[in-house]
Amino acid sequence: MKKKTIEVKEFTQELDIFIKNMLETMYNADGIGLAANQVGNGVSILIVDENSVEKNKRSPIIMINPIIKLFGGDDVEYQEGCLSIPQFFENVIRKDDISIEYYDEKMKLKKLETNGLLSRIIQHEFDHLNGILFTERITPLKRALSKGKLRKIESGQTTPHYDMILPNGELLKADKQSK
């Protein structure tokens, strides 16, 4: 998961099935975003759905080969979590505005300018595609304070209620009791 993902050249039926599985995984885990390499596929695909948790209203956006062209606006501090790092939440400072280009499932080029929560989720997932975890973006002090907890999570001692791929690529099966 620390490796950079590779570009999608052609939209195949396998990818179509894979994306449907990604969406299912994300919704099962009450997530609002997921990157392909979090579930063991090293391609450049991310999905986001900022409405899925709070309003239980599904409106996923699928981004293939996304590139953030521009970061702008204010620095905003906001608490993040990650399906790959269960039970860990910490503030991360990110730019509010982004301009992003990506391909949709018809391999049509799309452009999106956004801010707020949607911008934040996209930046977090875009980081995943580049092998960066949000724990690398917290302050060194906070990271030092969380070292023990993070090590426990990474070694699989903290089990989430959904199947997940650990940073070392291993599959961790869900602990249904902990839901």
* Active-site amino acid positions: 125
Reduce the secondary structure of 15-27 to three states and give it as a string. Answer: HHHHHHHHHHHHH
Please, what is the minimum distance in Å from the beta carbon of residue 13 to Co ion? 27
Q: How many residues bind Co ion (CB under 5 A)?
A: 1
Choose which of 32, 45, 82, 153 interacts with Co ion (CB under 5 A): 82
CB 142 within 8 A of CB 90: yes
> Which lies closer to Co ion via its Cβ, residue 16 or residue 170?
170
CB 71 within 8 A of CB 98: yes
Euclidean distance between CA atoms 68 and 96, whole angstroms = 13
> Which lies closer to Co ion via its Cβ, residue 103 or residue 126?
126
> Which lies closer to Co ion via its Cβ, residue 48 or residue 82?
82
Residues in the chain: 179
Please, what is the minimum distance in Å from the beta carbon of residue 10 to Co ion? 27
Residues that bind Co ion (CB under 5 A): 82
